[in-house]
């Protein structure tokens, strides 16, 4: 019996793909769902638009002097528009898919976000806000001393590297990894280029936004041009 069960374990390991038995079914489902989620390029288009808007606001902050109405409007826009876009685009993606792409990508109803997941998102958002506040504080302190350049450089390089690593890790697709590498490299380049903080962020976010938008549009175009599959 033991011999036969050992044989059975071996059979499981060889007969079934490693994808299925080396991991938890939850991990398999998450990977498959992520693959399906990125299949139409809509999330990248949404990210692209969000980052281009953010880049535009950073650029406005660069153009207008600190304390002017234009600068304050840009700052307010950043505070209000960025979260609105981040959440609004999720809603828009869902509706565009159901309205125009259902034949291509199919229909799925995701599970509602539970309290634990909401809590995790809230903690991450709070941690990011705290990190940004600390980084800005360091920058403002640094701008009054001889270390101003290094403080700006750290912020730009840090944003590029952390953002790039995040994109590569979360996306797990070659195009996301390439995007992540470009983001990190741009951040590091800008850190040494001597640009101002707002101009640096405008360039960094603008480049990410543009790359993401182009990549998403290409993926969407390829999907739309695919011949329709037969129904079940």
Partner 1 sequence: MSAKIQQLAEIDRVIHEPARLMIVALLAAVVEADFQYLRNATGLTQGNLSTHLSRLEEAGYIAIEKSFRGKYPLTICRLTERGREVLDNYRKVIKAALR
Nearest CB to partner 1, comparing residues 21 and 82: 21
Rounded distance, CA 43 to CA 210, Å?
Answer: 14
Instruction: Based on the shown chain and the rule CB under 8 A, indicate whether residue 94 belongs to the binding site for partner 1.
Output: no
Nearest CB to partner 1, comparing residues 28 and 78: 28
Q: Give φ, ψ of 52 to 5 degrees.
A: -65, -40
Instruction: Based on the shown chain and the rule CB under 8 A, indicate whether residue 95 belongs to the binding site for partner 1.
Output: no
33-62: which residues touch partner 1 (CB under 8 A)?
Answer: 33, 35-36, 39
Instruction: Based on the shown chain and the rule CB under 8 A, indicate whether residue 2 belongs to the binding site for partner 1.
Output: yes
What is the chain's Cα-based Rg?
22
Rounded distance, CA 58 to CA 71, Å?
Answer: 9
Interacting residue with partner 1 among 20, 120, 131, 221 (CB under 8 A): 20
**DSSP class of 129:** H
Burial degree of 16 (CB within 10 A; 0-12, 13-18, 19+): exposed
102-131: which residues touch partner 1 (CB under 8 A)?
Answer: 102-111
Q: 212 near 47, Cβ under 8 Å?
A: yes
Nearest CB to partner 1, comparing residues 39 and 161: 39
Rounded distance, CA 2 to CA 78, Å?
Answer: 65
Task: Give residues in contact with partner 1 (CB under 8 A).
Answer: 1-2, 4-6, 8-9, 12, 16-17, 20-21, 24-26, 28-30, 32-33, 35-36, 39, 98, 102-111, 229-232
């Amino acid at each position: 019996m033991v011999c036969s069960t050992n044989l059975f374990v071996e059979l499981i390991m060889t007969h079934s793909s490693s994808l299925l038995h080396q991991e938890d079914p939850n991990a398999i489902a998450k990977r498959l769902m992520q693959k399906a989620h990125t299949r139409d390029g809509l999330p990248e288009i949404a990210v692209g638009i969000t980052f281009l808007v953010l880049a535009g606001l950073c650029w406005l902050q660069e153009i207008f002097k600190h304390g002017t109405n234009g600068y304050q409007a840009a700052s307010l826009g950043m505070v209000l528009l960025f979260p609105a876009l981040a959440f609004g685009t999720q809603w828009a993606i869902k509706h565009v898919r159901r309205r125009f792409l259902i034949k291509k990508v199919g229909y799925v109803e995701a599970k509602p976000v539970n309290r634990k997941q909401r809590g995790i998102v809230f903690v991450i958002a709070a941690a990011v806000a705290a990190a940004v506040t600390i980084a800005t504080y360091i920058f403002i302190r640094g701008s009054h001393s001889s270390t101003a350049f290094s403080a700006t450089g750290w912020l730009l390089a840090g944003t590029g590297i952390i953002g790039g690593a995040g994109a590569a890790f979360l996306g797990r697709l070659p195009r996301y990894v390439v995007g992540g590498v470009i983001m990190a490299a741009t951040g590091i380049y800008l850190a040494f280029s001597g640009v101002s903080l707002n101009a640096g962020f405008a360039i960094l976010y603008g480049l990410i936004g543009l790359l993401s938008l182009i990549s998403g549009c290409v993926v969407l175009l390829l999907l739309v041009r695919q011949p329709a599959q037969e129904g079940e």
